[in-house]
Amino acid sequence: MHDIRAIRENPAAFDAALARRGAEPMSSSILELDAERRAKIQAAEAAQADQKKAAKEVGAAKASGNEAEFERLRALVGEKKAEVADMQNEAKALDQKLNDTLMGIPNLPFEDTPEGADEDDNVEVHRWGTPGEYAFAPKEHFELEGVKPGMDFETAAKLSGSRFVVLSGAVARIHRALAQFMLNTHIDENGLTETWTPVLVKPEMMFGTGQLPKFGEDSYETTNGWWLVPTAEVTLTNTVNGETVDEATLPRRMVAHTQCFRSEAGSAGRDTSGMLRQHQFEKVEMVSITKPEDSRAELDRMTECAQGILERLGLAYRTVVLCTGDMGFGAQRTHDIEVWLPGQNTYREISSVSVCGDFQARRMNARFKPSEGGKPEFVHTLNGSGLAVGRCLIAVLENGQQEDGSVVLPEVLHPYLGGKTTLAADGSLV
């Protein structure tokens, strides 16, 4: 959410930043609405002052025995009271309209966020590892002989419909091992605090991180008003919702492994094969709450945390900075990490790390109290996948595939698999 004072002070800069996102100028209509709201508030305050003045005069008229004046003033007080109530209601409606307008405007990009229209304008900034070479045509994950016994889409479709999967046996164990490996690495080496959170949240929490009101169709709402989280970003970030925390407690660096739920609205026909794009999936999510001056450096630190997981797994990847036209609603700058998938012969997103500045904090009213005193300030928030577990499973299976359909597994996973090193062609761990 945007600061109306900043728009008042520099409307041209606000419009210029929106233009970089491909949006039309909005400062004029916003400031016109703001001026109307402020004028209505001032008129209500003036009418209330007149009401109070008339109320005092009523008492004086009564005391003097001037019955006619008493009745006139009493009627005037009633009129002013109704007038004040109407004006306050109108001001409240205008305030809500302004708030709703500001809620629907995307965050403003950093100056160093590349400008562009879509994913073709994203900028690669880092690459690690070399895609493997195979003496055979590499297959996609769901085509591998060793994977087929443990990856069941037909049963999932019977249970729930399309874009679901049932994992079992060795494949389920590898999936779980990946999540454990990610968590342990982030906790023991990257200094994040493990956090377990609900997957059902109040709508206010979805508003806080920007999923509502604009993107409700992308998530699932229950019949009693709860929402299923599309990512643990929602719960982890909202731990400071409505709070004023001490500066000494920042930065707060959290990590959670949760189920995530997305409707995949607008993705009809895309990635329908395999488990690349699912309605229900698992993710290890990182969230940081920082002071304003620390958030840009924290973006780079979080990006390195996510990259480190892939490096430990020996998976080739590249990191791109999303352009203004491809960046998410709440982000100022986003680093997408894309892992190499030999079965598709391309890089695919496995992590997205974003800095949001005070955009979410304003929606949540989340602040910190400076240690040296002074007025509380809004915190800055960041979020990023560390990593998407299902997509990481896909990458491990495809990159480790052998010609007979077996999969050689990354060494770092061996301790989590009881010392087993390979997913055999018959679907067992050996």
- So what's the pLDDT on residue 370? 97
Both 188 and 94 in one domain: the answer is no
Let me know if residue 348 belongs to a domain. yes
Q: How far apart are CA 103 and CA 100, in angstroms?
A: 5
115 is in an annotated binding site: no
- pLDDT value of position 66: 73
* Residue 369: other Cβ atoms inside 10 A: 15
In this structure, the answer to whether residues 235 and 98 fall within a common structural domain is no
Cα–Cα distance for residue pair 250/345, rounded to 1 Å: 42
Which residue in the block uniquely carries the two structure tokens 């008042």?
Answer: 8
CB 377 within 8 A of CB 293: no
For the chain, the maximum distance between any two Cα atoms, rounded to a whole number of angstroms, is: 109
Task: Tell me which H or E stretch contains 346.
Answer: strand 346-357
Residue 226 confidence (pLDDT): 98
So what's the pLDDT on residue 81? 84
- 262 labeled binding residue: yes
Residue stretches of the chain with pLDDT short of 70: none
Which residue pairs, CB below 8 angstroms and at least 24 apart, start in 79-87?
A: 80/47, 80/48, 80/50, 80/51, 80/54, 81/51, 83/47, 83/51, 84/44, 84/47, 84/48, 84/51, 87/40, 87/43, 87/44, 87/47
Examine the domain organization and report whether 99 and 123 are in the same domain. no
Residue 225, pLDDT score: 96
The annotation status of 168 as a binding-site residue, yes or no, is no
Total domains in the fold of the chain: 2
Q: Rounded to an integer, what is the distance from CA 177 to the centroid of its chain?
A: 26
The answer to whether 197 and 226 have CB atoms below 8 angstroms apart is no
Residues 257 and 401 in one domain: yes
Is residue 349 a known part of a binding site? yes
Tens digits of residue pLDDT in 320-358:
999 999 999 999 999 999 999 999 999 999 999 999 999
Q: Which CATH number characterizes residue 415's domain?
A: 3.30.930.10
Residue 425 amino acid letter? A
Tokens 């597994």 belong to: 409
233 is in an annotated binding site: yes
Q: Does residue 265 share a domain with residue 189?
A: yes
Whether residues 88 and 128 share a domain: the answer is no
Phi, psi of 105 (to 5 degrees): -100, 130
CA distance 419 to 423: 12
231 is in an annotated binding site: yes
Is 285 assigned a ligand-binding role in the annotation?
yes
On whether both 267 and 377 belong to a single domain, the answer is: yes
- The span from the CA of 19 to the CA of 257, in Å, is 37
Edge-to-edge strand list for the sheet holding 200-201: 200-201, 227-228, 220-221
Q: For residue 172, is it within any domain?
A: yes
277 plus 129 within the same structural domain: yes
Residues 306, 342 within the same domain: yes
Domain that holds residue 328: 119-423
pLDDT of residue 396: 98
Peptide bond into 11 cis (omega under 30): no
